[in-house]
Every structure is written in C-alpha cells, then in structure tokens.
Homo-oligomer: A and B are copies of this chain.
C-alpha cells in the first residue's frame, strides 16, 4: 500500500514519498535533517514541529508580482472552475502526503472558486470541503487552521470588518461564517484572522477609532458564533505592520495583544506570528514570538523568511538556522505547540518554475526547522545560557528585590537603598553567548 495519496491522476509523478536520508545524502528529494520519528527532548520531530502546507502559495500561487505576470504552470488546471478545484485538491493531498506534512491550512477561496454571488460561493465551499473531509479521513492529514480571504476581492478595497461602508461588512460576515462552518466540519485546530485590508490607505479619510471598534465587535460576533456552533479550537490574529495597506492595524505582537485585551478577546484568541511580518515591523522574529509568549498568547507560527534588504513581504521559504533555532527556543520554552504548528506561509520564488521546486522548497524549510529544533534542544539541555540569565536576575529572587516584586516597597524605601554605594558594573556577556550559540549550531 502506498504511503501517499494519488487521486485520478498523479500530478507529481516521478516523485514519491520524501524520505529522511540523513546529511550524507546527495538526493535533492530527500530530507537531510528532518527525521520525523526521531525523538528530541521527549517528543518526535513530527510532534514538535507540526508542519503545515499553505494551500494558497503551494497550489494557487501563480508567480505574478506587481511588475510581472504569472509564471507557474499547474497541470491540474481546467477551464471548469469546480473541476479545476477538485483536481487541485487531489494534487494538494498528493503533495501533502508525499512531503509528509501532518497539517495544511487554507482560505475559503483557495479551495473553492467564488461563484456569481455569496450563495453560490458558499455552495462551492461546502462541496469542496466535503471532498476535503474525505481526503483528510483517508490520509490522516489534518487541518491546522482555516480562514476566509476577505482582502483580495475588490469589494474589500476599503476594508473588511473595518470597511467604512456597512453593507460590505455583511459580505464579510457571510464569508467568515461559511469559513468557520467549513473549519468546524474539517476539525480544524484553529481559525485565523489575517486582516489584509484592516488598515488604512490614508489617515486623512479614515476614522481609525471607529474602524477598530468595528473590528473588535466583529471578532466578538465571530467568536460567539463559532463557539455556539461547536468550535473548540483557537482563534488566531496574524500581525502585519503594512502591505497591502499603508498601515495595518494588526501591526505587531504588542499592538495585537493590546487590542485583544481591550476588546475582551484574549481568552479565545492567540497570535499567529509570521517571521517576515515581524521583521517588516522592525522586530526580530524571536522578539515578536517572545512578546506573544510572555503574554501567554503565542499560538501558531507562519514559518517563512523575509529579505531584510527589501521592504516588502517576500515570503521566502525559511533556511536561516539562526532564525529557526531562536524560534524553536521560544516554542519549546512555552512547552510546545498546543493547537498551533509551523505553517509554511512561503512561496517558491517566481522563477522556481519546476514542479519539483515545490518539494525542494519545503524540504529546505523542514530541514531548517529540524536543525533549529535540535539546536534549541541542545541549548536547553546544556542549560548554560539559561543559567546565565537566571544568575543575571538573581538579585530579584529574595530579599529587597523580592519585596519589590511583591509590591511591598515604596519609592521612598527604594530610594533610601539607592543612597548606598555605587553598584558594580556587570557585563552582559553578549559576545560570549553568541560564541556559545555557534558552538551549539556547529559543535
């Protein structure tokens, strides 16, 4: 019996199940570092990393950019939109099972073509997700999260839930409700909101306060509906600072956390942090993960990599093992994913036009995170860096420091302590830690 899915036609023929062959392997279509069953710190790599394939980039992305037309050829395309969608679903499950990802993510319109109106669109979605459910059951692949694309259609050019025109928000609701229904049906572990049009083009024509209130209200409504309909998973907000809007409301982790708390959403929602969005906001990827983690709100990760010399979202497959190591440290540090995972919100470069490039790109990303996971575990097991940090803050663990933390000191009392002799200069040892890091990575 085959260990991957093939539908009516094998779309990636010549490529079988991607196997772990180890770092000596010369086979481009094999993992060198990702060994799904290998135990790392008490769990398998598969369980730790919870890889997910992004339906949109992997099966819908056409390679177009603002200055160029589509470059990608997909053999599953058909003039009939629903036929095309069904072929694509087969191709998707073939790919997901061949690459060996336990999860996938999708927007409504990635999987089901829009119809002439919302009723038809929903009908298409229901039909396609019925099929997807069958595929999930027969393959064991699961849905990490679903979502609605409420940013591409021109109807949303002025916003989705933040649209100045109330009549647009009804469309948003209809689409989100259907996507929530689909997510529940497919047993999705999460449901994501990416506010691609929730922001402004110009502050001059924008009532920012009112727009944010509308989004807050809308998310409460969506949460209430989903809970009532039986959704037990996690809701995610995905921060991004800019693009396509001049300013996106979900700027970064800190901004979104403030928003969730203000609108009473922080018990049901967590953050889905994307590496390239964090860096566009002027933060290291690890920083935005840490901010979310410290708030107890780190939910899931959109695993990609930006180009720090370019000022837009390049959504590259991650390969920088420094980044993956720091990311895995945050994830291990919070005890690992609960409902979330590592979703490859990443696209092949538009000139990576061979079908096999889809495999090669995912192999690159999965190996990079496998390396990062192992390095992170080495760092944790060795404990040297954690011990340095603990020692650095030891003065707060007892005595007056502890009294401060417990709220037992007044400013006058604290000031009185400050009259004492000058504190000693304490090195931060940054370069030494960087040397340790290279030891863990290359030792």
Contact = CB atoms under 8 A, between A and B. Distances in A.
Contact of A65 (B210, B241, B244, B430): B244
The contact size tier of chain A is 35 or more
Contact of A28 (B70, B317, B435): B435
A152 interface: yes
A205 B392 contact: yes
A417 interface: yes
A166 B258 contact: no
7 contacts: A66-B244, A68-B197, A68-B244, A73-B425, A173-B415, A261-B262, A354-B427
Interface string A343-366: 000001111111001001101100
A217 interface: yes
Interface stretch (A9-17, A135-143, A246-254): A246-254
A118 B310 contact: no
Contacts of A45: none
Given A309-B242, A367-B438, A68 B419 contact: no
Interface string A146-178: 000001111111100000111111111111111
A166 B210 contact: no
Contacts of A414: 169-170, 173-174, 221
A88 interface: no
A357 B432 contact: yes
A289 to B, nearest CB: 10
A47 interface: no
A255 interface: yes
A426 B165 CA distance: 8
Contacts of A196: 67-68
A321 interface: yes
B246 A310 contact: yes
Contacts of A395: 164-167
Contacts of A170: 414-420
Interface string A205-232: 1111110111001001110110000000
Contact of A363 (B251, B411, B435): B435
Interface string A44-74: 0000000000000000000101111111010
Contacts of A367: 435, 438
Centre residue among A173, A212, A280 by max chain B CB count within 10 A:
A173
A310 B242 contact: yes
A83 interface: no
A35 interface: no
A187 to B, nearest CB: 21
Contacts of A217: 404-405, 407
A439 interface: yes
A376 to B, nearest CB: 13
B173 A290 contact: no
Contact of A282 (B167, B220, B242, B423): B242
Contacts of A81: none
A301 to B, nearest CB: 17
Contacts of A353: 157, 425-427
A32 interface: yes
Nearest to A313: B66
A148 B384 CA distance: 37
Interface in A398-443: 400-401, 404-405, 407, 409-412, 414-420, 422-435, 437-439, 441-443
Contact of A430 (B204, B291, B363, B405): B204
A380 to B, nearest CB: 13
B389 A206 contact: yes
